Structure 1
Amino acid sequence: MQKTLLTKLSIIVGLCIVFSIGLTMISDIIYERQYYAESVIKEITEQHVNPQEVINPFIAIPTTVTPACQSNTSDTPNIKSKCEPSYSKIKTMFASQTQATQNLKVNTETYKRGIYSATSYDGQLTFDQSYTLDKTLENLDQVGTTIDDDADKTQLAKTITHWNKAKLIIPVSDLRGVATLPTVTINQKSIAANYPQIPMIENLTYVEVDIPKDVLEQLSSPTSQHNKDSLATTGSINKNLDKSEVNSQLSNPKDNQALHIVIDLPLAGISNLTTVPTGQNFTLSMHSDWQTPNFIGKALPNTKSITAAGFDASWQNQYLTVANNQYLSQCLSTPNHQCIITSESTINTDSQSYNPDSFEASRGLTTDSAAVAGSNQGALLNSFGVSFASPNDVYLQTERAMKYALLLILVSFGTFFLFEVLKSSRIHPIQYLLVGCALFVFYVLLLPLAEQIAFWQAYMVAASACVGLIGWYSYYVFGGFKRAVIFTATLAGLYAAFFGILSTEDLNLLLGAIFCFVLLACVMVMTRKLDWYKVT
């Protein structure tokens, strides 16, 4: 009899190994379906709109720089000079104060392909900005020349700032999500935004606004526009003239003046929305009707409130804002626009949120992270925002359910075996195999059902079907109604306990460990008086 018992245990262990291989195959199916779902969402983004990233608007001024010429100190009578070619760069002016608000409506019905859908959002972004115009002369570049005390220079370096071409830049990663051009108000004057005909910043996607003439005069004139122009037309300044003397030739400066800009930007996107803060004081407030936000990026919200009606969150991080100012201004000031602007959020993206590989340099805000790391001509900007994570990620939940599959099969086989040992029931290995197949089919049913209906509904339907089938079959296996009810109730309790463990994301490991301990304790208590040597 002992030999028969060992043979039966060996068969049970063999069946468990076979079913574990089958569960691995089901896991492969889950990954395949998940990959297919992501490919469908990627196709939707390519045809409609991508996850969006918005940089806080700023003013860009094109500049032409002519380097100083170095004289050749050879002994030849004709002195030749070595001159580097002129190059262009961008000067930036950031807002001294920005209050950004984002009001978003999120749904999963806008973009659907069969049973798959992309979580999309549509809303209004408002930037309320103030620019402080400092009227003191900070450097001589503003008057068009650079002083150099090197006697070997035959021509001084010259910088020409093209104030008449200054633009308000509103960067958006995917302009397909901007249904209508934004409404821009500058000092209470409505100005039309346009798509750039010839992009001033080649590696950035944006819409631009022509700054009115009166505002340009404020921007370009550190003191008096007339006196500034008279100095700029001289082409050079005596190198013995110091900064204080230049200031004395200008009219009396005015104190700081404020430039007020309001931007109303309609925006649509998919899955994620991140914002790159710039300026001096940047505050972002976001409101949405989505109940399960996943906050991403380099900073979490300073305050947040999540209710059944949606969520409210606000960000303010001075360090990230100042760092972005430095990175962005340095990048745009590189000669001939050779710098690539890259966002931190597109490199460090949460693994559970969708991040299509089309979110790259051709769209303007991102590029390959390895290329950025290996290049000196790159600016890595910091951002923060939200990922609209789906509350019913069927693939993740099914995968988590699979982790308890082998335990479920072991407990079911162990219950059968205890009935056979304690109640002297004769159960054939084929009957073990059939019950194991019924338990296996539960996971085959769970995934396709969860793709069609809510996960808890799919779990309930699949579990009820398997428990009902096994309960009906156990009546004939045990040859009695009472034993069949006990086994069916035990199996139903297992499914219910596993669903409870799956529903508690933060405590699932702890509850799973406690559950395993309780099961082992129950088996040890039930068999504590059993003499295994006398088992017949």
Structure 2
Amino acid sequence: MKNNFYLKLGVIFGLILLLLIPRAYIGGVVYERQGWRQQAYDSIGQSWPGAQTLAGPVLVQPYVLTYHTKEKIIDGNRKEKEIVKEATLSDALYLIPEQLHVTSELTSSERYRGIYQVPVYQSQVQVAGKFNTQPVLDLLARNKGNAIRFDKPQLSVLVRDQRGVVAPSALTWGQSSLPFKPGGNLHDAAAGMHAALPALKLEPAAESLPFAFKLELRGMRAMNFALLAAESDVSLKANWPHPSFTGQLLPETREIGKDGFSAVWRASSFSYNVSGALDACRKGNCLALLDAAVGFDLLKPVDVYQESERSIKYAELFVVLTFVVLILFELLKKLRVHPIQYALVGTALLMFYLLLIALSEHIRFFYAYLIGAFACTALLTCYFGAILRSRRFGLVLGFGLSLLYAVLYVILQAEDYAMLMGSLLLFGVLAGLMLATRHLDWYRLTGQGDAEATAQLASEKETAHA
């Protein structure tokens, strides 16, 4: 019997290893469905603007600087002479607002590709602030002895995806109303809009230039605002109840409720390397202006594939624990459970995860988990009662399995404490098994105790006969 017991343990161990194959297949299903969901995002992204970033406005003042340079030459008599040459330099001065106020009200909705939902939004944005012409006066002061010709300035507003710009209002510039034209018109940052401005007044004192405009901006998955101003504040309201705030600064204040959220950011040019981004833009890399941004992602409250993937990590634990309990019942109640029955039990345990993935794509994750756990627990409870020849034993095992599923769901929801709770679960199960079996005579249960007793009795008889 001893040899039979250890042979069966080897067979059961082999079954556990074989069950890793369908377990790996189920994990592959999760990755495959995640890929299909990403394809749905990409498909909608082909016909709807992507994640948006609003940057600006930036005032661009082109100019041509004429200056004189001295150059040494060697004349025909091999004498060194110094001549004065006239040179020109075409450049532009990039100004950010002295103050910038952005107010946005975002309305989210969902688009579908098959069974997959993709969050999209429309944002009504109001932008206001004022520029100061002091940098222009400083440029003139640095070049008093040179001639500067200023070309017509422009105001540029940049976005990440041009398709998201929907019929902006006219630009209010002081007392004037100026039309916007498509395109950011800034080197490589082509997406956005720009407006031609009247010539700046080059007065002895700096001039304050107020501006304002409205814009409807469409996008998907994320909305960001680049804080390109000496002092800026962004006020955002949205009907999306599950934001994930992103960027280099978190909101100064925020309120999140079931109907949406509101957030306020405040920053200054000291908070970001705005001057570095402007220098990069002057050299041709204006996309750098989109980097110093704050905002949020439209986070899905429950990522069913991530939750399913995390639950699959506990599949081996469920299989091993169930097999251990079945082995104990075999030993204690002198029952025989065939390896095929072990294989069927393990397969039923793995079916839970397949049901969970399939159901969670159509209904809420909680209900998918509840239905999958109930179906597998009910099936195994009936099966345990049959193979153990006791309805009571079947109910006990079914109750224990239900408890394990309940604990697993709590672990899945407590994302920040999943490692801690998983470790406590393993420790608790191990402690329970050790305490429950601490008085068992394993030699007797496996037949080794009987063999030793028989050998000892035979030895005693031989001694007495001698």
For the criterion TM > 0.5, the same-fold answer is yes
| Per-residue deviation, 1:169 | 1.0
| Per-residue deviation, 1:94 | 1.5
Map of 1:349 onto structure 2: none
Structure 1 CA distance, aligned partners of 2:344 and 2:46?
47
Deviations 1:200-237 (A, max 9, x none): 534342201232x4xx3xx33133xxxxxxxxxxxxxx
What is the letter of the counterpart of residue 150 of structure 2? T
Give RMSD over aligned pairs.
2.5
Structure 2 CA distance, aligned partners of 1:423 and 1:319?
77
Map of 1:402 onto structure 2: 312
Structure 2 CA distance, aligned partners of 1:278 and 1:137?
21
Query: Residues 113-124 of structure 1: matches in 2 within 5 Å?
Result: 113-124=113-124
Map of 1:128 onto structure 2: 128
Deviations 1:499-524 (A, max 9, x none): 11111112221111111111111111
Q: Say which SS state the counterpart of residue 533 (structure 1) adopts.
A: helix
Map of 2:13 onto structure 1: 13
Change (3 A) 1:185 1:476: same
What is the letter of the counterpart of residue 455 of structure 1? F
Structure 2 CA distance, aligned partners of 1:451 and 1:65?
64
Change (3 A) 1:39 1:66: farther
Structure 2 CA distance, aligned partners of 1:292 and 1:405?
30
Q: Say which SS state the counterpart of residue 309 (structure 2) adopts.
A: helix
TM (normalized to structure 1)?
0.77
Change (3 A) 1:33 1:71: same
Task: Tell me if 1:274 matches 2:215.
Answer: no
Change (3 A) 1:320 1:118: farther
Map of 2:191 onto structure 1: 205
Structure 2 CA distance, aligned partners of 1:265 and 1:522?
63
Query: 2:166 aligned to 154, 179, 187, which one?
Result: 179
Map of 2:202 onto structure 1: 221
Map of 1:48 onto structure 2: 48
Q: Say which SS state the counterpart of residue 102 (structure 1) adopts.
A: strand
What is the letter of the counterpart of residue 103 of structure 2? T
| Per-residue deviation, 1:398 | 0.6
Deviations 1:261-292 (A, max 9, x none): 11211111010111111111011121111111
Structure 1 CA distance, aligned partners of 2:76 and 2:149?
34
Task: Tell me if 1:329 matches 2:239.
Answer: no
Deviations 1:453-485 (A, max 9, x none): 211111112111111211121221011111111
Q: Is the 8 A contact 2:158 2:189 kept in 1?
A: no
Query: Residues 76-475 of structure 1: matches in 2 within 5 Å?
Result: 76=76, 86=88, 88-108=90-110, 111-134=111-134, 137-140=137-140, 147=145, 158-162=147-151, 165-196=152-183, 199-211=185-197, 213=198, 216=199, 219-223=200-204, 253=205, 256-318=206-268, 322-324=272-274, 326-334=275-283, 338-342=284-288, 381-475=291-385
Task: Tell me if 1:60 matches 2:41.
Answer: no
Q: Is the 8 A contact 1:280 1:321 kept in 2?
A: no
Q: Say which SS state the counterpart of residue 498 (structure 1) adopts.
A: helix
Give unmatched runs, 5+ long, in structure 1. 148-156, 224-252, 344-364, 366-380
Change (3 A) 1:386 1:200: closer
Q: Is the 8 A contact 2:182 2:194 kept in 1?
A: yes
Map of 1:376 onto structure 2: none
Q: Say which SS state the counterpart of residue 49 (structure 1) adopts.
A: coil
Structure 1 CA distance, aligned partners of 2:161 and 2:399?
55
| Per-residue deviation, 1:187 | 2.4
What is the letter of the counterpart of residue 335 of structure 2? S
Q: Is the 8 A contact 2:92 2:282 kept in 1?
A: yes
Q: Is the 8 A contact 2:234 2:265 kept in 1?
A: yes
- Paired-residue identity, %: 28
How many residues align? The count is: 444
Structure 2 CA distance, aligned partners of 1:433 and 1:135?
79
Q: Is the 8 A contact 1:135 1:222 kept in 2?
A: no
Change (3 A) 1:14 1:135: closer
What is the letter of the counterpart of residue 331 of structure 1? A
What is the letter of the counterpart of residue 195 of structure 2? V
Map of 2:427 onto structure 1: 517
Greater fraction of residues in strand = 2
Q: Say which SS state the counterpart of residue 138 (structure 1) adopts.
A: helix
TM (normalized to structure 2)?
0.88
Deviations 1:30-70 (A, max 9, x none): 11221221122022112221110111312111223456444
Q: Is the 8 A contact 1:271 1:388 kept in 2?
A: yes
| Per-residue deviation, 1:158 | 4.8
Q: Is the 8 A contact 1:280 1:322 kept in 2?
A: no
Structure 1 CA distance, aligned partners of 2:202 and 2:356?
70
Change (3 A) 1:320 1:395: farther
Q: Is the 8 A contact 1:467 1:492 kept in 2?
A: yes
Which of the two has higher C-alpha Rg? 2
What is the letter of the counterpart of residue 195 of structure 1? P
Give unmatched runs, 5+ long, in structure 2. 447-466
Structure 2 CA distance, aligned partners of 1:264 and 1:425?
78
